[in-house]
Amino acid sequence: MNESAIGSRKAVDFRSDNVATISPEILRAIVAANTGSAAPYGADEHSRQLDERFSALFETIVKVFPVSTGTAANALSLSALTPPYGAVYCYEAAHIQTSEGGATEFFSGGAKLLLLQGSGFRFAAAALEQAIAVSGRGVRSRSQPSAVSVTQATEYGTVYRLDELRAIGSVARSGGLKFHMDGARFANALVALGCTPAEVTWRLGVDILSFGATKNGGMSADAIVVFDPSIVDDLAYRLRRAGQTWSKMRFAAAQLTAYVENDLFLVSARRANALASRIAEGVRNLPDAKLLAPVEANEVFLELPEAVIDRLIADAFLFYRRSPRLIRLVCRFDGSDDDADRFIVALRTHLARG
Ligand SMILES: Cc1ncc(COP(=O)(O)O)c(C=O)c1O
């Protein structure tokens, strides 16, 4: 069990999947890569194998660029899809809009994020189509439609269905937009949908993917996976210029290769998703406890009375309080059933007290 002491109590940590340990398999891969010399900046054998390994995984030729964070993956991917006067469409609560400090605007040289609404914490193709229709294409005073970005799994732990993505891809293609996917929790979405990486990306028109690993057992590397070869050269320059081309690239490549080897990424995501489902089941039908969103991946958003949240905090459960009555619990590959069960028991006890 992963617990740390807070005062005399044991904390159970649901703050984020970033609080997790590193998968032992990934640590071992770093150690195994730690022999002899290797060419720098991605010219090493580990990096070459990474392209091959991911091309096999995605069932098409891809180019993989390891990067240090999900924010770098998103912002630099999008910068390669839009001119500075372009518009990037995304859901109104997309991470690129709410939580990346304007990184997409910065790296694109000023492109504008245009926000779409929708139900289930995702937008529909019709909303994109409508927005493009009124965009003012060709009007010099208006940002020009250039790209669309979806988050899979979404910021609220829901998942786009394949037909939804196919429809978005089709609108993007007919509108001349490039299609980006923020897959910070890509593995969690794959497990939820039970589909292959190819089925949820390029086969539906996705041009470029931010492929998360850090939140699901990686140490310090996410990746950009490029399906559209016309993006590759431009992106390579942008990454170098942004300080995202590691000199000791072999250690990033080793992490990412280990992450997908023997389906580790899916095994880890399955575990995290199962814990979130366990909590969702445990709190379903409790009076005064309401799930804000269907629990489809590894996050649980729960509305509770303020006093109950205060008591859970006093019990040393760690989580983010999004508002006085709303908490977010994030489950991890290294979490335990016991963590989930202790939360459920505590919640039931506090709710019963009223
Ligand atoms: C959906 C989503 N995208 C991107 C990111 C960015 O990742 P990082 O914090 O590594 O920059 C996060 C991080 O929480 C996220 O939740």
Q: What are 189-207's pLDDT values in tens digits?
A: 999 999 999 999 999 999 9
Q: Whose CA is nearest to atom 8 of ligand 1?
A: 70
Q: What are 103-150's pLDDT values in tens digits?
A: 999 999 999 999 999 999 999 999 999 999 999 999 999 999 999 999
Residue 43: partners with Cβ closer than 8 Å, 6 or more residues away: 249
Statement: the pTM of the whole predicted model exceeds 0.85: yes
Confidence at residue 9, expressed as pLDDT on a 0 to 100 scale: 59
Burial tier of 329 (Cβ tally within 10 Å: 0-12, 13-18, 19+): buried
Compute the distance from residue 84 Cα to the ligand 1 centre, in Å.
23
Compute the distance from residue 184 Cα to the ligand 1 centre, in Å.
6
First CA to last CA distance, the chain: 30
User: Cβ–Cβ contacts within 10 Å for residue 154, how many?
Assistant: 26
Average pLDDT over residues 34-50: 97
Confidence at residue 6, expressed as pLDDT on a 0 to 100 scale: 44
C-alpha distances in angstroms, 271 versus 191, 192, 229, 247, 259? 10, 11, 34, 34, 15
Confidence at residue 2, expressed as pLDDT on a 0 to 100 scale: 39
Compute the distance from residue 281 Cα to the ligand 1 centre, in Å.
27
3-state secondary structure the chain: CCEEEECCEEEEECCCHHHCCCCHHHHHHHHHCCCCCCCCCCCCHHHHHHHHHHHHHHCCCCEEEEECCHHHHHHHHHHCCCCCCEEEEEECCCHHHHCCCCHHHHHCCCCEEEEECCCCCCCCHHHHHHHHHCCCCCCCCCCEEEEEEEECCCCCCCCCCHHHHHHHHHHHHHCCCEEEEEECCHHHHHHHHCCCCCCCCHHHCCCEEEECCHHHCCCCCEEEEECCHHHHHHHHHHHHHCCCCCCCHHHHHHHHHHHHHHHHHHHHHHHHHHHHHHHHHHHCCCCCCEECCCCCCCEEEEECCHHHHHHHHHCCEECEEEECCEEEEECCCCCCHHHHHHHHHHHHHHHHHC
Residue among 17, 18, 19, 71 to mutate when testing ligand 1 (max atoms within 8 A of CB): 71
Confidence at residue 10, expressed as pLDDT on a 0 to 100 scale: 77
Compute the distance from residue 180 Cα to the ligand 1 centre, in Å.
15
Q: Dig out the tokens for 107 from the structure.
A: 């790296």
Residues with beta carbon inside 6 Å of ligand 1?
Answer: 69-71, 74, 95, 151, 155, 182, 184, 214
pLDDT-derived band at 3 (thresholds 50, 70, 90) equals: very low
Of the CA atoms within 13 Å of residue 131, those in its CB half-sphere come to 27
Average pLDDT over residues 224-236: 98
User: Cβ–Cβ contacts within 10 Å for residue 294, how many?
Assistant: 14
Confidence at residue 353, expressed as pLDDT on a 0 to 100 scale: 87
For the CA of 70, the closest atom of ligand 1 is: 7
Q: What are 69-112's pLDDT values in tens digits?
A: 999 999 999 999 999 999 999 999 999 999 999 999 999 999 99
Residues making up the chain, counted from first to last:
354
Q: What are 296-345's pLDDT values in tens digits?
A: 999 999 999 999 999 999 999 999 999 999 999 999 999 999 999 999 99
> What is the Cα–Cα distance from 216 to 181, expressed in whole angstroms?
17
> What is the Cα–Cα distance from 338 to 159, expressed in whole angstroms?
26
Compute the distance from residue 8 Cα to the ligand 1 centre, in Å.
32
Q: What are 234-264's pLDDT values in tens digits?
A: 999 999 999 999 999 999 999 999 999 999 9
Q: What are 44-71's pLDDT values in tens digits?
A: 999 999 999 999 999 999 999 999 999 9
Compute the distance from residue 38 Cα to the ligand 1 centre, in Å.
30
For the CA of 214, the closest atom of ligand 1 is: 10
> What is the Cα–Cα distance from 233 to 80, expressed in whole angstroms?
10
Residue 40: partners with Cβ closer than 8 Å, 6 or more residues away: 247, 248, 249
